[in-house]
Amino acid sequence: MKHIVQLFLVILFMGGCGPSTKLVRSWVNEEDTPKSYKKLAVVAIMPNASNRYLIERAVAGDLKDDGINAIPTYEIFPLAGRLGDIQELVKDREALKQKIKQKVEENNIDGLMIITVFNVETEERYVNDRSYMMGGTGYYGSPYMTGAYYNYYAYSIGTIYDNGYYVEDYTYFLECNLYDVASEELLWSGRTKTVNMESVEEEAVYFSEVVIKDLIKKKVIVP
């Protein structure tokens, strides 16, 4: 029994320390892949300029490491995180389309990856501070968990009066679409899920890893 508990703790620890960004789904246009690009542009449409910079830099850098010529667009594209500019641009969508096309042509871009925040969900949950009730020894270090049933029964009754508290969990969903400029076709689309993001810089790296891994694995783009 002791070995089983120790093994469970190792698995729990490893799972809790892993990256919080996961690819939850992806779609591939089988008719138009694989593709090779001379200049693949990465654009992250974010209300925050710093977040845009971090994501574009991470994705473009990883693509280059895989032999794909990619560039960030935070210095050449509009919608660079200035909320006022975004509100003005979207008033005339046709003018915005033409501006994007102009930027693509001016910079000789033949592939375009667009990353956006698809949704943000919040959920309130109650954290039961059981380590306090156990004298600070935690779940599996306590005799209440490994002892007789009546010990655990008595402990469970006691947790009614614990020092628990409420926290809010934030889940961020990002959507990433890869377009072929010449045909204007969507080649690949994926969505990621990030729970309780603590560092945008770290999660940008995880996001880039899961997205590019799927693109390479499914041979959507090739060097």
Residue range 120-149: mean pLDDT, rounded: 59
- Tell me, what's the pLDDT at 12? 33
Task: For 199-222, write each residue's pLDDT tens digit.
Answer: 888 999 999 999 999 999 999 999
Burial zone of 162 (CB within 10 Å; 0-12 exposed, 13-18 middle, 19+ buried): middle
Share of the chain above pLDDT 90, in %: 43
Q: φ and ψ at 185, to 5 degrees?
A: -95, 145
CATH architecture of 19-120+173-217: 3-Layer(aba) Sandwich (3.40)
Of the ranges 59-68, 91-100, 184-193, 194-203, which one carries the lowest mean pLDDT score? 91-100
Q: Report helix, strand or coil for 45.
A: strand
Measuring CA to CA, which residue among 78, 84, 140, 125 is closest to residue 106?
Answer: 78
Q: Is the confidence at residue 81, as pLDDT, over 60?
A: no
Q: φ and ψ at 149, to 5 degrees?
A: -60, -35
- CATH 3.40.50 intervals, the chain: 19-120+173-217
Instruction: Report the C-alpha gap between 40 and 4 in whole angstroms.
Output: 50
Instruction: Report the C-alpha gap between 138 and 45 in whole angstroms.
Output: 43
Confidence at 113, pLDDT banded by 50, 70, 90? very high
Q: Is the confidence at residue 177, as pLDDT, over 50?
A: yes
Specify the length of the chain in residues.
223
Measuring CA to CA, which residue among 150, 129, 147 is closest to residue 138?
Answer: 129
- Tell me, what's the pLDDT at 43? 93
